[in-house]
Structure 1
Amino acid sequence: MKTLFAGIALFGTFALASAQTITFDKTTFDYGDIKPSSDGTRFFTVTNTGDKPLILSNVKPSCGCTTPEFSQDPIMPGKSAKIKVGYNTALNGPFNKMIEVFSNDPANSRSVIYIKGNVDANAPEAVVAPAAPANTKSAKKAAKKMAKVAAKK
């Protein structure tokens, strides 16, 4: 009888240990100071660090000025997906918004992520760094052309 109980307890431990687990690359995205009507789109990366498929059932913003987009396709173990979050940058002033993420993670069925920043007409222009070129023939050619143009200036 003791062996039966030990077996059931051991099986229960393994059943709880194997599950889908939600993990975020960051839980707060700070926009900093941005100009009115600038691009308010940002991305959070969600990774399934468990061993069963993770499903996002809902992503709910705290107000109508924030618009999340997500896929309900299962995120397989070890894989990632993106949650796209848009903020209405036509609204001037500081903001700090909460976004609830609902999933089938048994330990964290409700997770919370945040966006914050300040929409200010006096904010400096955003400087976007170009992506590192791929190590391909056309990328090398484009880099040489850009270097020539820069040298002429």
Structure 2
Amino acid sequence: MKKVTYLLIFSSLLFSCKKSEGNLNFDDSQSIEQKQKELSKYPTTVTFNKVLHDFGEIQQGEVVETEFIVKNTGKNDLYILDAFASCGCTVPEVSKEPLKSGESTPIKVKFDSNGKSGFIEKSVNIRCNTSRMLETVKIKANIKTNK
């Protein structure tokens, strides 16, 4: 009877701790670093339709938008934990739903040129489960001021 009990306990621990690549569940109490550590066990690869978007010449105060398409080109699910920009004038928006191999999702990027002038280049960082753990796309523009 003891052997059966130990066997059941051991089996339940073994199977409850094993996470399949498509069933990673995180709760809000986990930090980004904790989630990233767990995801590093399931790396995948991605491609972008572009890594730089040039808005060209825009007027100061103009709000412009673009979209980068990220595609999961690896075998494991792609988990995007976070997308953040190099400053508050650039706001990325991305779904945090896992992407199966072959699936794509847009990363929308909005740039507010209010208070800016001249040539700018801003980075958008995407924290995800690629081998680099941080992918980067960029936007640039030449902002003309009203005279």
Write the mapping of 1:17-56 to structure 2, written as runs, cut at 5 A.
19-56=43-80
Q: Distance in 2 between matches of 1:63 and 1:39?
A: 15
Letter in 2 for 1:114: K
Higher strand share: 2
Paired AA for residue 119 in structure 1: I
Contact 1:57 1:102 in 2 (8 A): yes
**Structure 1 unaligned runs (5+)?**
1-17, 123-153
Aligned equivalent of 2:120: 95
Instruction: Supply the distance in 2 between the matched residues of 1:119 and 1:111 (Cα, whole angstroms).
Output: 26
Deviations 1:104-135 (A, max 9, x none): 12x2211111111111158xxxxxxxxxxxxx
C-alpha distance after superposition, 1:9-68 (max 9, x if no partner): xxxxxxxxx952121111111111112333411111000001221011111111111111
Deviation at 1:97, TM superposition (A): 0.7
Q: Which has the larger radius of gyration?
A: 1
Q: Is the CA contact 1:22–1:47 (under 8 Å) kept in the aligned structure 2?
A: yes
CA distance in 2, matches of 1:80, 1:92: 34
TM-score normalized by the length of structure 2? 0.65
2:77 and 2:98 in contact (8 A); partners too: yes
1:73-92 equivalence runs, <5 A: 73-90=97-114, 91-92=116-117
Shift in CA distance, 109/120, structure 1 to aligned 2, threshold 3 Å:
same
Superposed CA RMSD: 1.8
Matches within 5 A, 1:4-153: 19-90=43-114, 91-105=116-130, 107-121=131-145
Report % sequence identity: 33
Q: Which residue of 2 aligns with 1:147?
A: none
State the AA in 2 paired with 1:101. I
- Which one-letter code corresponds to 2:124 in the other structure? I
Contact conserved, 2:72 with 2:102, CA < 8 A, in 1? yes
- 2:43/2:129 contact within 8 Å kept: no
Q: Is the 8 A contact 2:80 2:98 kept in 1?
A: yes
Q: CA separation in 2, counterparts of 1:85 and 1:26?
A: 13
Q: Which amino acid aligns with 1:103?
A: C
The structure that is helix-richer by fraction is: 1
